[in-house]
Structure 1
């Protein structure tokens, strides 16, 4: 029994305690976070006991409370980790007065890069070019009829291969 007080909410919470703990672990994937989530849920259940309708499914009510707490905590965490760029958009725009020297266009021309891309096997070249054209991974996977993970790995390995080819063919220019 969780508490010495004989209260129907405490008794029902005690009965579903193991299920709630398992569900909290499933949501968080971490024992410490699961314990915190369970405790937050238990407190919320006890403080809102008057809102529970006797005779309804207590476990479903408790699981809903736990899920909502988890979602709210996740959203708070995402908002806390979000970085907002307050830089004015025109900060990096060239005013036309002075050009920044950049020899990148002289090192490797676009045509030379495309010749390197053409050396890739078709299974890698096609998804890479679609990604280059701005397609999302999901769109590429759907268009090519391949699993999403396969598309991501092919694009990754295409990039690695192109980096290697670039170093082999154009290193002496740098």
Structure 2
């Protein structure tokens, strides 16, 4: 097979490589790069292709292997951890503290008290929304405009946030 015939066949098949590259990479730019790298490797290694065999399968194999090699390089590069930073992070971060059931009980009691402390006009739409009602359903059931429902839920959230700021993580 001449170099021109080989190049023409590679060009014809390259169109079918793009969807497979997209499936592998899940990113349009990365897929284009993968196809380009595959075609470059195929053209550079033309002498390794055996005439009469399936060129499409050969190109797909090059593409798959290129993807796997690139993926392995990326994961190896990103998994190196400096153990001193690792231990320092996990020993000083409070988010890894395990709380017992008593803490959750106190929190729930505070949340329930805060909700009970809301004005009835705000509490009712908020509780309905919390248990799963949609804005339109709440408006129909309470016979108030949907904008009022949204406003009351918003105000209820602000009040609860103010009352429960001791539990804020920020």
If the length of structure 2 is used for normalisation, what is the TM-score? Answer: 0.50
Match of 1:53 in 2: 50
**Superposition pairs for residues 118-129 of structure 1, below 5 Å?**
none
Aligned twin of 1:42: 39
| Deviation (angstroms), 1:166 | 7.0
1:23 aligns with 2:20: yes
Q: Judging changes above 3 Å, is the alpha-carbon distance between structure 1 residues 58 and 113 closer, same or farther for their aligned structure 2 residues?
A: same
Misfit runs of 4+, over 6 Å = 88-92
Structure 1 residue runs of 5 or longer lacking an equivalent are 93-103, 117-162
- Please give the alpha-carbon distance, in whole angstroms, between the structure 2 residues aligned to 1:73 and 1:90: 30
Q: 1:23-172, aligned counterparts within 5 Å?
A: 23-87=20-84, 110=100, 112=102, 116=105, 165=108, 168=111
Q: Larger % of helix: which?
A: 2
TM-aligned CA distance change 1:113 to 1:70, over 3 Å: same
Query: Aligned pair in 2 of structure 1 residues 72, 90: CA closer, same or farther (>3 Å)?
Result: closer
Larger Rg: 2
TM-score relative to the length of structure 1: 0.49
Unaligned runs of 5+ in 2: 90-96, 113-163
- Are the structure 2 counterparts of residues 16 and 168 from structure 1 closer, same or farther at C-alpha, using a change threshold of 3 Å? same
Distance 2:87 2:31 in 1: 46
Q: CA deviation at 1:83?
A: 3.7
Figure out how many residues of one structure are paired with residues of the other and give that number: 109
Provide closer, same or farther for how the CA distance between residues 33 and 111 of structure 1 changes in structure 2, counting only shifts above 3 A: closer
